[in-house]
Copies of this chain bind each other. A is one copy, B any other.
Amino acid sequence: MLKLYHAEPLANSLKALVPLKEKGLDFESIYVDLHKFEQHEPWFVAINPEGQVPVLDHDGAIITHSTVIGEYLEDAFPGTPPLRPADALGKARMRYWNKFIDEHVLNYVSMHGWHRMVGVIARSIESGEFEKLVARIPLHEQREKWRTARSGFSESELANATRKILLSVDKVEEQLGKTPWLAGGMYTLADINYFTSCAVSVVRMFPDLGIEKRAPRLLEWIERVRARPGVKAALAMPDKTNPALRTFSGEVR
């Protein structure tokens, strides 16, 4: 029995939902309402002490972190369709990209998303109440991120994040000049990772950066990823985000 604890179909939650949908695996969807900070409730922290979604529960075994979940699903359900190359070198190419995206892309897109969406939410909470909410967040870095979202990220932090995002856009554009998908000839977890961590929202989030002109192959790849049955099904999952705050998530509707 598979269960996925997840939030809206974007970022890390989307990244875990896509392979489940691509593989046509039956799973119980358990929605964790981040708008109500359910991920920091004792019942959830008992499941994942880090207080973060997504979480996969497979017959009681708990697997956290979306990159690890993706590889786990390949190992446990290698069947149709495979989302990881069969050969050692292909796997290495996929993992190179996953590592790059996890370490050099995700947090920078997330910073802009938090700046626009979570910052608004954080500032709408009265300060005594806010400190109470922050105090129960398990991870130090997440507590800092909530406080910074409330007080506002600095211009230089945001500019550095934009620089990192553009660097990834150029790197992906270059790769797509050599191979149809990031890790080579097949659609893999690396494509799902870059799509869900960045590409799904990057054009809409940064209309001034001219990404359409800068990265035409990326744009064409986005359409190919979006046409994947698993991506379509995952993007069709409910989104309870306040429509006024959908600068980050709106692209996927």
Q: Identify the closest chain B residue to A144 (Cβ).
A: B160
- Docked pose: A65 CA to B94 CA in angstroms: 12
Q: Give the residue of B75, B87, B89, B102 whose beta carbon is less than 8 angstroms from that of A91.
A: B75
- Docked pose: A140 CA to B91 CA in angstroms: 27
Q: Identify the closest chain B residue to A58 (Cβ).
A: B89
Q: Closest CB-CB distance, A74 to chain B, in whole Å?
A: 8
- Docked pose: A102 CA to B68 CA in angstroms: 13
Q: Which residues of B contact A65 (CB under 8 A)?
A: 96, 99
Docked-complex contact B63 and A92, CB < 8 angstroms: yes
Number of this chain's copies in the complex: 2
Interface presence of A95 (CB below 8 A): yes
Query: From DSSP, what is the main secondary structure of chain A's interface residues?
Result: helix
Q: Identify the closest chain B residue to A87 (Cβ).
A: B75
Q: Which residues of B contact A96 (CB under 8 A)?
A: 63-65, 68
Q: Which residues of B contact A63 (CB under 8 A)?
A: 89, 92, 96
A interface residues, how many (CB within 8 angstroms): 25
Interface presence of A31 (CB below 8 A): no
Q: Closest CB-CB distance, A124 to chain B, in whole Å?
A: 29
Interface presence of A76 (CB below 8 A): yes
Q: Closest CB-CB distance, A251 to chain B, in whole Å?
A: 27
Tell me the A116-147 residues at the B interface (CB within 8 Å): 140
Q: Which residues of B contact A75 (CB under 8 A)?
A: 87-88, 91-92
Docked-complex contact B61 and A89, CB < 8 angstroms: yes
Q: Which residues of B contact A88 (CB under 8 A)?
A: 72, 75-76
- Docked pose: A68 CA to B96 CA in angstroms: 6
Interface presence of A67 (CB below 8 A): yes
Interface presence of A239 (CB below 8 A): no
Docked-complex contact A71 and B99, CB < 8 angstroms: no
